[in-house]
Amino acid sequence: MDTVRYVINAFRHYAEDRTGRTSDDITMPNPLIYYYLNMYRQTETAKFNRQLGTIGQSAGTIQTIPCLELEKVDVVESPFVPATGCYFQKTKYPLPSMIDGLPIQVTTVAPDCQNCNKEIREFTYVPWPNFQYAVNSRIEAQSTALYYTIKNYGSKTDLYIYSNSKFDEIKAIAITLVAKNPIEVINYPKCGEAIKKPCSYLDDKFIIDPEIEAQVFELTLRSIQNTMRGNPAFDVFNNTLPDAMSPGLKR
């Protein structure tokens, strides 16, 4: 798995091939490169998944958080007032930002689930406004099933589950997802861990599907050129000509 530092260096070599200039002759700050690499990784990953027809086929960007702690929530924070003996829980920390806004899969963490028979059980997604109808169904198999829902608070996303009379004492879940920024998944605190703060973003992992890497590099290079050409303080080609008069990309 490559780091941000490795991918930035790979991009600089790509820029050399596209512009015909050595990396020493092209002035591009690392934070600016990373900003565009990350942005276009998100958009191109989403586009690639839509072209495949299912998000599950892009294995290069799928990640799993094996254990997320849950905590009980107050009634006022719940989708509705739970029945006696039942309660809502939510993830202790907000979820990483996800492409398409939902996880691919949410499951129990065996054996941390009564009546799961030490098996991993999957939760079914129900939109927040419809949650009470699912758990209040007159059909017992539906009312006692495992459900989860999502609520967004600005840029933060919390996942809620309903602990019913059949499946209770669920203290943790596992989720599989495609994140907008895979680094958020890598640094996400697993059960019993605190929030991680890497010393340098350059040493973080950078996950990108090989199928879209070249397109991400191309879009990044063009955006950096446009950004720097609009600011006289930058000189992307670092030569005697103003950037607007420079040869630019090789066609």
Asked whether residue 85 is assigned to any structural domain, the reply reads yes
Q: Name the more confident of 19 and 167.
A: 19
Both 86 and 167 in a single domain? yes
Residue 168 is assigned to a structural domain of this protein: yes
Q: In angstroms, how far is the first alpha carbon of the chain from the final one? A: 32
Domains: count for the chain:
2
Instruction: Please state, for a pLDDT cut of 70, what percent of the chain lies above it.
Output: 79
The pLDDT value recorded for residue 113 is 60
Q: Which of 239, 250, 224, 219 is nearest to 30 (CA)?
A: 224
- Cα atoms in the Cβ-side hemisphere of radius 13 Å centred on 234: 15
Examine residue 173 and state whether it is found in any structural domain, yes or no.
yes
Does 68 share its domain with 144? Answer: yes
Q: What is the pLDDT of residue 134?
A: 84
Indicate whether 137 and 173 sit together in one domain.
Answer: yes
Residues 26, 116, single domain; the answer is no
Residue 224, domain member (yes or no): yes
Residue in the block written with tokens 């930058």: 234
What is the rounded distance in angstroms from the CA atom of residue 199 to the CA atom of residue 5? Answer: 13
49 shares its domain with 88: no
Same domain, 229 and 167: no
Q: Supply the pLDDT for residue 22.
A: 72
- Show the tokens assigned to 83: 């029945």
C-alpha separations of 51 from 63, 83, 126 in Å: 20, 43, 26
CB 221 within 8 A of CB 75: no
158 and 92 in a single domain? The answer is yes
| Same-domain check for residues 157 and 133 | yes
Neighbours of 62 (CB within 10 A): 20
Q: Do residues 182 and 63 make contact, with C-beta atoms less than 8 angstroms apart? A: yes
Same domain (yes/no): 86, 133: yes
Give residue 219's domain range. 4-57+201-245
What would the pLDDT profile of 106-147 be if each residue is shown by its tens digit?
998 866 665 566 678 899 999 998 888 888 888 888 877 889
pLDDT digits (tens, 9 = 90+) for 43-55: 888 888 777 665 4
64 C-beta neighbours (distance < 10 Å), count: 14
- 185 within a domain of the structure (yes/no): no
Which tokens in the block code for residue 121?
A: 């059980």
Cα–Cα distance measured from residue 251 to residue 244, given in angstroms and rounded to the nearest whole number: 17
Same domain membership, residue 120 and residue 82: yes
